[in-house]
Structure 1
Amino acid sequence: MSLAIPPRDPEVTPKRLLILAVPALAIGVLSALVLWALNSVAAVLDSALWDGIPGALGVDPSGWWIVLVLTLTGLAVGLVLQFMPGHGGSDSATTELVEPPQPLGNLPSLVIVTVLALAGGVSLGPENPIIAVNTAIMVAMVARLMPSVPMQLTVLLAASGTIGALFGTPVAAALVFTGIVAALKSGGALWDRLFLPLAAAGAGSFTMRLLGQPAFAFDIPVYGAPQALDLLTGTIVAVGAVVIGLAMLAAFPIVYRAMHSLRYPVIVATAGGLLLGLLGLLGGPITMFKGLDQVGELLQDPDKYDAGQLAAMAGIKIVALLVAASAMFRGGRVFPATFIGVALGMLGHALIPSLPLGLAVGCAVVGVLLVVTRDGWISIFVAVAIAGDITILPMLCIIVLPAWLLVSGAPEFRIAAPKQDPASASTPSPPVAAD
């Protein structure tokens, strides 16, 4: 018995791929530069808010200053959402990682609220809004300069370049878009269809490396030789992380509905900022911001934290993520979810000392990200990248299977978009988890 190989798409030729590789590489570089610029502006504001101003005033930035800054951040974001043209674009709680391009008029307000959230300590990452920004810019540019390039391809390339830049490697984008490409009905070789997105992702990640911003650089002991018992204990940690993630998923529409009952964006975001400030005061700066730098802080000295502290940090970050995503802040959920997974993995290692730290962290990251992304490949990739250890990959490829069975029937980790934009409507439609 042989498998039939679908015929090559006649439109996908080496010559066409070579010609389109030029704009693909350019899109990857430009996507990385936009990400770098946004991160740089956010870093300057971050430094002023959390170092410069409190230092000049002689204020402890880990005390009541957290509540003040996050409340004012919420107020500023709310004012932009309420009154500025574009209203910050689509609510991140209702969007997937890759969406159709937004109007260019949305971008100024979207960039402002994203920078404010990143600098102000909101528990959301840059992935959703920066992909939206790059997608809109690249679609407009390519439509003007190369109108023959399909819009869908430009969207794919812009998202690929941005994901490659975000994670510092084109492999992340290749894994993310494997599922999209596999879903295409037309025939042809998979690598023909991955060729251009991989070119954009490679250019994006290479550009970020040239700019001196590697995404993942953590020091965790190498796992070493696999042990049969680790399959059992690793599965327990992964399944436990999935259960916690599913509880977070169930709470998402409830928190979203509660926050949006305040009706007006300026009130919703200000109240959200106040709540995030109180959570930051409770959990400290390590439970704030997008979470990637804080993962490094956690893993720098794992023995510094006991099981109770790790459970508390994971719990506070979960609540902070739900509040931030529900209070109309613009940002992604992958990075804060990764922090939650790392904290839960360290908790698993603390409770099961025989389970190596790297594998425990990888299993928990897989469990949480399966719920948040509904993508096994990207969950495994991030887990291996965080652990920095390829030897855990075979274990994760087995452990992910029972975890996926728990997730496969669950809804997506986003809110079904209301019929009208809540930024311009006084009574948004009741939210539900997206099926």
Structure 2
Amino acid sequence: MPTDPAQPSPTAPATPARVLLPLIPPALIVGVASSLVFILVSGVADRLQGVLWRTLPDALGVGRYSAGWMVTVLTATGVLVGLVVWLVPGHAGPDPATTGLEAAPQQPSVLPSVALAGVLVLAGGVSLGPENPIIAVNVGLTVWLGRRLAARAPDALWVVLAEAATIGALFGTPVGAALVVSEALAGRQVKGLLWDNVFAPLIAATTGALTVTMVSDPSFDLDLPPFGRPGWTDVLTVLVVASVSAVLGMAAVYAFPRVHGVFARLGHPMAALTLGGLLLGLLGVLGGRLTLFKGAQELAELAHDPEGWSAGQYATMTVVKLIALVVAGTCGFRGGRIFPAVFAGGALGLCAHALVSAVHPAVGVAAGVLGMLLAITRQAWLSLFTAAVLVASPMILALLCIASLPAWLLVTGRPQMQVREDGSAVR
């Protein structure tokens, strides 16, 4: 029976404060603990990276990023991660091609292998980010401890607190975590008001972000040339660049299950990861050292001098990074796809600036990142947030909202960069 439009629609009941207040202490604890795990894993990876890419090549008298050294280190990284997946208890968790940003709780015995594989990937120059392994570790630890210290609390609470805290630590701000949680809740039937459901995760994310900020400087601002008042040229730019970036991202998405099938037919993680490492080394030779690693610092180096590379070089780096992301994500390396996608989108935006000088570098980068993240993550709020913080200009938000519309139409309803257990693409 249709609802009378004159009658106000029923609203979800608000959660009393007495229910929310007990959530504050566990949210604070999870926020601090998750950020400390992130700092620890990142710190170990940074130290190992220094050994692999500075100390060892200097001691051996070879170029730090010479072709031979890149191929050697990436191939060796594939061998080492393959050994972890094959022999270490826990086998570094499930096939990373079958998982997304949200992590299912894993047994504590699995977590050391996940962390070890993640450290090797970050240090070895693989084109993946830290988010997935660290979220998996934090979720597993938090759920395991939560079950013992507060058995009556549901596992879902510990999962969302750990995920929010880790995302807050990764980005150095709780806003990204709040947007991700809000988007996840929108697809579920939850009780109460949205802000009531975001209350505890926001505390965990804020605590995680503050903890990391006090220890390091997790700024994502690329320090691009300042962007002032937008004009019609900028509107056209964001529409075109975001759409082209989304199409390129979707090309990588469609290739993902096919490449995964090729590696799966090898039948053993040692074979798949060794071959994957070799291919990543060769791609590094083709694209240059800036196409290695997760991509955050490398994109900052590109953005520091937008005129320092030609359009052809930017285009090459974009394509190489996307191919490297697909290879790394399908052969078994443990890591996330957000940071490499950010690099690929940013390089594409700088390519647009190099092709057409009227394209402002900040506008090109923001639009390129937006389109690429929409295609690869399918999380609109996170894509908008990441693209905006890279430029750090309030005027860019309206342009990005406009650009997100055609880009979203290009990606929605299509396969995602994730496969099922049988190898078919997730939609």
TM-score by structure 2 length?
0.96
- The equivalent residue for 2:9 is 4
Report Cα offsets for 1:53-106 as digits up to 9, x if no partner: 111111111111111111111001111111111111012211010122011111
Summarize the alignment of residues 35-114 of structure 1 with structure 2, pairs less than 5 Å apart: 35-63=38-66, 64-114=68-118
SS, match of residue 25 in structure 2 = helix
1:175 has 2:179 as partner: yes
What CA distance in whole angstroms lies between the structure 1 residues aligned with 2:150 and 2:237?
54
Q: Give the 3 Å change call, closer, same or farther, for CA 374–3 of structure 1 in structure 2.
A: farther
1:417 has 2:409 as partner: no
Asked if the contact 1:341/1:368 (under 8 Å) is kept, the reply is yes
What is the aligned-residue identity percentage? 46
Query: Which amino acid counterpart does residue 329 of structure 1 have in structure 2?
Result: F
- The equivalent residue for 1:434 is 426
What CA distance in whole angstroms lies between the structure 2 residues aligned with 1:276 and 1:91?
19
Asked if the contact 1:166/1:215 (under 8 Å) is kept, the reply is no
Summarize the alignment of residues 261-340 of structure 1 with structure 2, pairs less than 5 Å apart: 261-340=265-344
- The equivalent residue for 1:23 is 26
Query: Which amino acid counterpart does residue 426 of structure 2 have in structure 1?
Result: A
Asked if the contact 1:170/1:205 (under 8 Å) is kept, the reply is yes
Could you tell me how far 1:184 is from its partner in structure 2?
Answer: 3.3
Q: Give the 3 Å change call, closer, same or farther, for CA 252–3 of structure 1 in structure 2.
A: farther
Summarize the alignment of residues 154-165 of structure 1 with structure 2, pairs less than 5 Å apart: 154-165=158-169
Query: Which amino acid counterpart does residue 413 of structure 2 have in structure 1?
Result: G
Could you tell me how far 1:5 is from its partner in structure 2?
Answer: 4.5
Aligned with 2:258 (options 243, 254, 258): 254
Q: Give the 3 Å change call, closer, same or farther, for CA 280–28 of structure 1 in structure 2.
A: same
Report Cα offsets for 1:358-382 as digits up to 9, x if no partner: 1111111110000111111111100
Report Cα offsets for 1:16-40 as digits up to 9, x if no partner: 2111111101101111000000000
What CA distance in whole angstroms lies between the structure 2 residues aligned with 1:301 and 1:226?
22
SS, match of residue 221 in structure 1 = coil
What CA distance in whole angstroms lies between the structure 2 residues aligned with 1:104 and 1:168?
27
Summarize the alignment of residues 166-205 of structure 1 with structure 2, pairs less than 5 Å apart: 166-205=170-209
1:370 has 2:362 as partner: no
Asked if the contact 1:95/1:417 (under 8 Å) is kept, the reply is no
Query: Which amino acid counterpart does residue 165 of structure 1 have in structure 2?
Result: A
Could you tell me how far 1:3 is from its partner in structure 2?
Answer: 5.1
SS, match of residue 248 in structure 2 = helix
Could you tell me how far 1:396 is from its partner in structure 2?
Answer: 0.6
Q: Give the 3 Å change call, closer, same or farther, for CA 3–245 of structure 1 in structure 2.
A: farther
Asked if the contact 1:127/1:332 (under 8 Å) is kept, the reply is yes
Asked if the contact 1:341/1:365 (under 8 Å) is kept, the reply is yes
What CA distance in whole angstroms lies between the structure 2 residues aligned with 1:159 and 1:60?
39
Query: Which amino acid counterpart does residue 44 of structure 2 have in structure 1?
Result: V
Q: How many corresponding residue pairs?
A: 421
